[in-house]
Chain A
């Protein structure tokens, strides 16, 4: 147990990487900034569109902006002492190794299964000792009891691992937010250990 002041002091020199600034990444980053993680390294190539606002931590007037820079701006409005490094880049194996090699914990926050597999393979190959916190299975609504934490060595997977997004099973705020905040909660657990 720790007071919030102690928690903030412990987190102030920590560095967390967040790969993707969509539903998982934006919400997870905001939660980690609120509790005082010192440095967040965020990356995304995409631009905010109106349909993103059903779950992502952006505002209507930010439509058209780059997600990575808009998220940095929103975090600075919440906690100006959080140092945010924003990369406007489509992450791949090389850039993940380059950008995230020194982070304490890495958060996977992609939407596509192919990208989730890519970052998992990259971490297992280049830095298997680094904790990777993933979000897998968050589509739709309800089904709370399906959402669990799964653990494979240094890889922690939050989600139901079952419900994939589709037209009739979209990713929407409550369930995406639950998984994003479970990821943030796991990051804290790892950082405060």
Chain B
């Protein structure tokens, strides 16, 4: 499938994968993240059951302490 991840086109050799699998695959290791799929924020508890499909626009925003 071909998706857009943080505005960058990304080709993944799978037809679909969950958000959890995508985060593993891309090695996102930040503890505090917010994920949007096609503009919609996805609650953390839904990462293992929410599937990404061809053409989806995914945003993964990570947050770190300091202010």
Q: Interface on A for B, CB 8 Å cutoff? A: 20, 22-25, 109-114, 116-117, 120-121, 124-125, 128, 134-139, 152-153, 155, 157, 159, 161-165, 171, 176
Interface centre among A20, A117, A138 (most CB of B within 10 A): A117
In Å, the complex CA distance between A164 and B31 comes to 12
Beta-carbon contact of A137 and B39 below 8 Å: no
Shortest Cβ distance from A120 into B: residue: B34
Give the size range of B's interface with the partner.
10 to 19
Complex: A139 Cα to B64 Cα, angstroms: 10
- Interface of B toward A, CB cutoff 8 Å: 6, 31-34, 36, 39, 41, 59, 61-67
**A113 surroundings in chain B (CB, below 8 A):** 31-32, 63-65
- A155/B61 in contact, CB under 8 A: yes
User: B61 contacts which chain A residues (CB < 8 A)?
Assistant: 120, 152, 155, 157
Among B34, B36, B62, B65, contact of A161 (Cβ-Cβ < 8 Å):
B62
Q: Which residue of B lies closest to A22 (CB)?
A: B67
Q: Is the CB of B66 within 8 A of A124?
A: no
CA distance A135 to B63 in the complex (A): 9
